[in-house]
Structure 1
Amino acid sequence: MSETDAPPRVSSKPVDPRLLKYASASRGFFVAIAAIAAAQTAVIVAFAWLLTHAITGAIDGMPRAELAGMLGALAITVALRAVLLWAREAVAARAAARVQGQLRARLVEAIGVLGPEWLGVRNTAALAVTAGRGLEALEAYFGRYLPQLVQTVVATPLIVAVMWWQDWISGLTVLLTLPLIPIFMVLIGLATRSVQHRQWRTLQRLASRFADTVQGLSTLKVFGRQHRAAASIERVTGEYRRETMRVLRVSFLSGFALEFLASIAVAIVAVSIGFRLIDGPLTLAVGLFVLLLAPEAYLPLRQVGVQFHAASEGVAATDDVFDVLDAARAAGDPPAGARAPSAQRPAAPDSLLILDGVRVRRGDRMLPPVDLAAAPGSVTLIEGPSGAGKSSLFAALRGAATFDGDASWGGADLRAFAPSAWLAWAGQRPGLLTGSIADNVTLGDPAPDPATVRRALDLACAGSLDPAEELGVQGAGLSGGQAQRVAVARAFYRHLRGGAPVIALDEPSSALDPETERRLWHGIRRLADEGAAVLLISHRTSARAIADQIVRLESSEVLA
């Protein structure tokens, strides 16, 4: 079962405690919202008391001056309630923005901790939807659901207590009927959470399908399969539409059910008060005061059920984010005696890279052992037929695959260091981003150097490209060969800036003509002569001219 098809996990907790752990901004938010909720409750009780005394006073012939003062106080409570509502929304909006930023930052950090190997088996489009639209839905979660939940926890007990103090029969009636709303809310919420999770998974699947189709559109066009891909997207879109309508139906049904229960409960309180007013044991002032408070006792619970639907998409997204953060937390706790990966450079640039019996794991396969020693100033050419494990070896070096055996740089175990601390890499896919060519070459450099950018482009045979040229998605605007050379220039730039003593290039000339390839080999040789340790994968026999040593892998040695 794929990740997007996994059955939804229904949480029984109104608020996931991991929110407080991973987003520190949420802690102050709860304190502020609780204070505002307490103030709102006091205003609600004051409004009911003032309105009751204004009505009974008007009936009893209260002097106009005193009645005007009572109405003025009522106006003040109305204005104060409006100010508190504005303050709650402002606090919620600010907290939502801060929590979104914190969770996005933690998500990026977590993916960095989990590494390329973890990311390589995940649906990146689904992760993008989670980090984008999913976390944007936290605005409804923080702006509506959580404030209403806190309001319920604070206001409902206080209002019931005031009602009990004034009229214990009405208080007991509310206390007995109030649990009906949470019971039905939980039952409906379970169904809503399940439906919402299916809708969320369908949206992730739609995003993945669309991203894959756009990326492979040229191939689909060549083989005449673009219409089938469009039909597939249309089918998933139809599923998403049906899931969305199902969510809306459940939302409207639950809203009706909660409103109906609350109305019946308030009616019971009203009928009880009416009979006792007729019989005489209850005064009009107490009965009216309690009757005004009764709807307010049920309102927070009703609103929690209603706002839960608006926040359910954000809840589903945070579940996915928390799963990633939990996985990173577990992966970031090394066993006793082990060292956590360090971002610092493991050794001096003139150190030796040694692989001794390195066997890469790829799924259920174990590749044959590889032995090599790459010294600064040398070019090590790795040859072999397709499927022999050449790219898998590079994947292990950059942390995208696990391996057995010993791998060291300057005598230090490579597993103890982040690949970015010692390796500059350019793969078969350029991996360019939206932005200028210079931005792509200097990726990760907080203080780019234009002169080094120009030299890296020249060494990669891309000197004719304008570093200021803007590229589209995935490097749109460049040919395949140009994009490949920009990716190679990025690896060169990282080395030239002192960030990586080792350069690993996977088929850097596959899209180049012979003359450009010859110039590229010349640039690689120059970097090696200046002290770089270069690992090169190439099917081109011309690469042998610049190699100091050749390591050959055979596909027949791959073990199942």
Structure 2
Amino acid sequence: MATDRSDARERMRPVDPRLLRYARASRGFFVAIAAIGFAQTLTIVAFAWLLTSAVTTAIAGGELTGILFPLAGVVALRAVLLWVRESIASRAAARVQTQLRTGLIDAVGTLGPGWLATHNSARLAVVAGRGLDALESYFGRYLPQLVQTVIATPILVIVMWWQDWISGLTVLLTIPLIPLFMALIGVATRAVQQRQWATLGQLAARFADTVRGLSTLKVFGRQHRAVRSIERVTTEYRRETMRVLRVSFLSGFALEFLASISVAIIAVSIGFRLLDGELGLFVGLFVLLLAPEAYLPLRQVGVQFHAAAEGVAATEDVFAVLDAAAGVQSTVAAPAVPPARDGVLEMREVRVRRGDRTLPPVSFTARPGTVTLVEGPSGAGKSSLLAALLGAAGFDGTATFDGVDAGTLTPATWLAWAGQQPGLIAGTVAANVTLGDLAPDPALVDRALELALVGGLAPEHELGVQGSGLSGGQAQRVAVARAFYRHLRGLGPVVALDEPSAALDAGTEADLWASVRSLADAGATVVLVSHRETARAIADRVVRLTAEVPA
């Protein structure tokens, strides 16, 4: 319970301190907004003073020329300061969005595919997209108003007390009611906003899953049920959105009502004292003009909090990912320097963890110029073994590449991998083959396609989403060509292939095995996962895995 309360207090902070840590652009923003807020407060006082002087002078029949020009200048200055504040806030929001998006992508890379597999990737996409876009309201409205409140409210109360201590005391006694109601309303707002944000993440995940499995759903006649499911979540999201709007409108009314009542109390007090002659017209009118301005910043903070609530909810999700990545980095003393590329992969008593299961231990040494075949029945852990090398699955034991702990190395620096799912993207065939290479080599692209038996496929051929436009066998061979290219480019001395012939006929499979063997003979360290008996013909060593017998 104590932890829950501390978490709630952390979420209720007006400004999360992690924002300053993870988004450096926000630091200069606060300094600039504070300076502008102070200048705006001075213009408010000057405007009230000059306007009061104009009214009292006009009543007395005096000359207004010397007052109206400064008054117009103050009005113009106040408009300029407002424009400058909006401009700074907009630019700061854009820079912070960029920094947080970059940090989020880097954090996901640090946490690895194993972490990503256990989290809602569709929700992460919504957070990185729409969620961080909502920071425009957070930076453009809420934070400037919050800083303005911290600066303007004390100054205006002091000025009012200096001119009329009774009005100043009235403000001091009534103004705490607004933060109190804001806190109570904020708790309700945060709760409904979090439910709305969670529903949006659920909707994104449901829609993404439906699109990915649409062909299967249509084959089994379940597409209408999927549509109804999305419709149900969409209806729930609409309800949560309306609930947020209701709370926003009610809170706005409550804050306005409290401020209006407080100003009315001050106005009535000033009116009676003016009638009794206890207070001069100049002081009374000056204080009366400042009274609404004293309450306005606090009222606006409450109003703008609702406009920024979605951005606040998104930043919490971003900070959670960044904190997790920082925790992972702190547990590693220093990243290992990539080894000297001898290409020796050694695994000693490696037991891969899959959920609550721990697979049987595996030990082998794969050297350059050899093909190590990993075979076994379905469920024995063949693919899980490669997932451990990729960082997508945890394991006990030791896995080293040229004597360096493989867990401290980025897989992209030593591993050329092709999985059972092709993992192609929209773009050209060449773009898919050279994925991750900043300086592609067209000649090596052609060579890799030939080795993968898709030499007849033009590198400039455009593919659709997820590689649509190719047959299953072609897509699989393009993925194999990508692994071959990385090795030929010198980016991956170890070639790891997971069931590369699953979608191939016997003749094409034999040709692919010949290509794999040729790479090994040229110095590659090949780890081949396959259940095909024909793979034994090119293997230098066979590692047989056995399925774990349930207790």
Partner of 2:462: 470
Distance 1:395 1:558, change over 3 A: farther
> 1:196: Cα distance to partner?
0.2
> 1:491: Cα distance to partner?
1.2
2:397 is equivalent to residue 405 of structure 1: yes
Percent of paired sites with the same residue: 72
C-alpha distance in 1 between matches for 2:147 and 2:472: 56
Partner of 1:273: 270
Question: What are the Cα deviations for residues 92-141 of structure 1, in whole angstroms up to 9, with x where unaligned?
Answer: 11011110111111111111111111111111111111111111111110
> 1:559: Cα distance to partner?
6.7
Q: Contact 1:352–1:374 (CA<8 Å) still a contact in 2?
A: yes
2:435 is equivalent to residue 438 of structure 1: no
Q: Contact 1:8–1:197 (CA<8 Å) still a contact in 2?
A: no
Q: Given the alignment, which residue of 346, 359, 378 partners 2:339? A: 346
2:186 is equivalent to residue 193 of structure 1: no
Partner of 1:162: 159
2:294 is equivalent to residue 297 of structure 1: yes
Between the two proteins, the alignment pairs up a number of residues equal to: 545
Partner of 1:38: 38
Alignment of 1:90-101 (within 5 A): 90-101=87-98
2:380 is equivalent to residue 388 of structure 1: yes
Partner of 1:55: 55
Q: Contact 2:350–2:399 (CA<8 Å) still a contact in 1?
A: yes
Q: Which amino acid aligns with 1:62?
A: G
Q: Contact 1:8–1:198 (CA<8 Å) still a contact in 2?
A: no
Q: Contact 2:343–2:494 (CA<8 Å) still a contact in 1?
A: no
2:528 is equivalent to residue 536 of structure 1: yes
Q: Which amino acid aligns with 2:350?
A: V
Q: Contact 2:449–2:481 (CA<8 Å) still a contact in 1?
A: yes
C-alpha distance in 1 between matches for 2:8 and 2:524: 50
> 1:479: Cα distance to partner?
2.3
Alignment of 1:92-491 (within 5 A): 92-334=89-331, 339-342=333-336, 344-348=337-341, 350-491=342-483
> 1:541: Cα distance to partner?
2.1
> 1:339: Cα distance to partner?
4.2
Q: Which amino acid aligns with 1:340?
A: A
Q: Which amino acid aligns with 2:456?
A: S
> 1:47: Cα distance to partner?
0.7
Secondary structure of the residue that 2:239 maps to in structure 1? helix
Secondary structure of the residue that 2:507 maps to in structure 1? helix
Q: Which amino acid aligns with 2:56?
A: T
Q: Contact 2:351–2:395 (CA<8 Å) still a contact in 1?
A: yes
Q: Which amino acid aligns with 1:443?
A: L
Distance 1:313 1:368, change over 3 A: same
Q: Contact 1:359–1:370 (CA<8 Å) still a contact in 2?
A: yes
Distance 1:97 1:444, change over 3 A: same
Q: Given the alignment, which residue of 483, 494, 503 partners 1:502? A: 494
> 1:255: Cα distance to partner?
0.6
Instruction: Give the TM-score normalised by the residue count of structure 1.
Output: 0.95
Q: Contact 1:368–1:558 (CA<8 Å) still a contact in 2?
A: no
Q: Which amino acid aligns with 1:58?
A: A
Question: What are the Cα deviations for residues 252-302 of structure 1, in whole angstroms up to 9, with x where unaligned?
Answer: 100111111111111111111101110001111111111111111111101
C-alpha distance in 1 between matches for 2:8 and 2:511: 55
Instruction: Give the TM-score normalised by the residue count of structure 2.
Output: 0.96
Secondary structure of the residue that 1:332 maps to in structure 2? helix
Secondary structure of the residue that 2:330 maps to in structure 1? coil
Any unmatched runs of 5+ in structure 2? 1-6
C-alpha distance in 2 between matches for 1:483 and 1:77: 68
RMSD between superposed Cα atoms in Å? 1.5
> 1:477: Cα distance to partner?
2.4
Secondary structure of the residue that 2:11 maps to in structure 1? coil
C-alpha distance in 2 between matches for 1:268 and 1:433: 66
Q: Which amino acid aligns with 1:12?
A: M
Secondary structure of the residue that 2:145 maps to in structure 1? helix
2:529 is equivalent to residue 546 of structure 1: no
C-alpha distance in 2 between matches for 1:421 and 1:123: 27
C-alpha distance in 1 between matches for 2:295 and 2:426: 52
Q: Contact 1:95–1:142 (CA<8 Å) still a contact in 2?
A: yes
Poorly superposed stretches of 4+, deviation over 4 Å: 7-10
Any unmatched runs of 5+ in structure 1? 1-6
Question: What are the Cα deviations for residues 443-502 of structure 1, in whole angstroms up to 9, with x where unaligned?
Answer: 211211122122112211222222223333222222222221221111111111111110
